[in-house]
Chain A
């Protein structure tokens, strides 16, 4: 299954699940819930971190965290 770190700039996807239980608690609190739509907004010049739009705002996270978020392409 694809994960969020593989999403390209301006692409959209839907969150399907998580691979890291503890991290998922924090991500869900920030609005990254299964079934929510996310889109890739920014990729930092050195490829990391990234910023996504989720639940109506921009959230920045490292690729390492993003790779724990499983997604389904649109």
Chain B
């Protein structure tokens, strides 16, 4: 073990520069994800031991085109590099640049170089550059840019050991800055340097540019900087324009001098693929085919794994139940905590598969073509092409989907996407749909080709989608922002996806889901367990003797226990709530039993199925869909004497579940992403109102 302090190394680079692949190569599986202090931007870091036994933490900073951030994720780069006290402030920066696209990649490098932190330039994707017949004079480039350059190929690991070796060497910070700050800004820079005790000109200059966005400055410091800026006549836009132009002018000269294209580049395969993927017919056909494939895979491939998880946790629950002494603690652990855990873990296969596909599409370069293709269709609804990824993800789970909106630059577009994504039918709704469809929709052919049950299920998914885009359209008209929305996006060249990256994304997203959704679902499950297990009225207290009196013949049998549990639930706090809200939900066709299930669904929608089985006195052994369906179909409406679960009631419930915001975890994520309660509360009210009105209309029409 070395007794030197742990080195911090930050990876910085443009999106699509292969930075994350390089990070995965450097750290292997020895990495962890978390959040940057105070913000919810995913932080990926890993630990390695360098050749000289020095321990180093490698931090993968979000991809960005420039030190001037446009999106939320990009802001962290500036925060980490400017704040000397930031826990991730690096000792060394490795700038990763795409060698086949050097000019644009070097802009960020020259900005980072002027920050006064020792840095290295990894000239990545050198293989692609070679294919394009680009020849580099590495020595000349190194001298002109003032940095040590390591050519790397993150696809096969070439250059990684050289890079690791270079990290142990002394790196010099060049004295002469790459960009000489414009004269009009010098007095501002000097004043800020004096005020904050900052030594580097360019860092002080960045403080002037970004003061209002920097999280680590307190209000007095911000006010001081503002005062200096107005006193010294700092003019942001012309200064930044001059900076970008001057940097690029030098970069163009350096690249022309040191990079030669030998023969004319071969006609790029990317152009040929683009012909099909952005074609007016094939483009949409390909997009729809991919969506259908993902949809199929998420539901069909996950079945086995989901069953295995359910059975595994079920077995674990009964083992715990039998091992622990009987009583309230046992019930809390088995029915509250383990059941809550099951409700989270069972969705991992679907989430992993969905994000596996999304990652494949992003890695290959197709995703930005889908965005390109869909932008014009989404724009009239106040959404952007970039909303496609969150909306598709929303079909698995709204939580990672809402986190995926961070790539949308415009706040208004992003907010609208966050607001409407929970309308997409997520995997937690599927068990509810399946049960209700089996219950009230006959298994018949319809228009000779469609299966009626399948048709209703498809209709529910489409209903969610249309609710999302129509709500987006309404929000677009209501929300007023001064900020102009814009859309500027790189179309990277196509690549074969690296399976290791895909695997790590699947792992990361599943983990985020388990942690984010898990803590809320677990907490709510425990609260609901308490509400469903305790009551204060006489019926609850005397439940045992009342049920004994009613069912003398059953005493001692398992059926007695089941009847007793149902009676207890009816008179518990949750049961009383169900009865209190009965008048409100009666117009939708629901009774107090459904009322209880609606309340317990707040932990997660699929809890509906479990609650119904308890209310209808179904023993744990027969707790499968067929039995629940059987019991529900025998329920008689006391007023009409006919079956209680009519198609009208079933459809009304399905519509309610399609629209209602019954997911506390989603609300928690929206709270975090929008930094306040305003949007989650509005979303909750809006979605519940839509659900109520739509369910009411459905019930009245079909009844």
Contact = CB atoms under 8 A, between A and B. Distances in A.
A31 B487 CA distance: 15
B446 interface: no
Given A21-B237, A49-B385, A31 B104 contact: yes
Nearest to B277: A42
A25 B68 contact: yes
A65 B486 contact: yes
Interface string B372-396: 1101110100000100000000000
A20 B701 CA distance: 53
A25 B247 CA distance: 13
Contact of A65 (B101, B274, B385, B487): B487
B491 interface: yes
Contacts of A48: 375-376, 379
Given A28-B248, A49-B376, A23 B486 contact: yes
Given A29-B66, A31-B104, A44-B372, A60 B489 contact: yes
Residue among B68, B270, B372, B379 with the most chain A CB within 10 A?
B372
Interface string A30-60: 1101100000011011111101000111111
Chain A binding surface SS class: mixed
Contact of B488 (A21, A26, A57): A26
B237 A49 contact: no
Contacts of A51: 278, 372, 491
B508 to A, nearest CB: 27
Interface in B224-269: 237, 240-241, 244-245, 248
Contacts, number: 112
B505 interface: no
| Among A21, A26, A47, A59, residue most surrounded by chain B Cβ atoms (within 10 Å) | A26
Nearest to B134: A56
B103 A31 contact: yes
A55 B101 CA distance: 8
A59 B42 CA distance: 26
A74 B28 CA distance: 50
B490 A58 contact: yes
Contacts of B379: 48, 62
B373 A44 contact: yes
B382 to A, nearest CB: 14
Given A30-B488, A45-B280, A24 B241 contact: yes
A3 B163 CA distance: 45
Interface string B60-84: 0000011010100000000000000
B95 to A, nearest CB: 16
Nearest to B384: A62
A60 B587 CA distance: 51
Contacts of B248: 28, 31, 33
B101 A29 contact: no
A51 B241 CA distance: 23
Contacts of B486: 23, 26, 61-62, 64-65
B426 interface: no
A43 to B, nearest CB: 8
Interface string B343-378: 000000000000000000000000010011101110
Nearest to B244: A28
A53 B58 CA distance: 34
A22 B485 CA distance: 12
Interface string B152-168: 00000000000000000
B424 interface: no
A34 B249 CA distance: 11
A45 B279 contact: yes
Interface of B: 65-66, 68, 70, 100-104, 107, 237, 240-241, 244-245, 248, 270-271, 274, 278-280, 283-284, 368, 371-373, 375-377, 379, 385, 484, 486-493
5 contacts: A28-B245, A33-B244, A45-B280, A51-B372, A59-B489
Given A25-B237, A29-B66, A49-B375, 14 more contacts: A25-B241, A26-B488, A29-B68, A29-B107, A31-B103, A33-B245, A41-B274, A42-B274, A42-B372, A45-B376, A48-B375, A49-B376, A55-B104, A57-B491
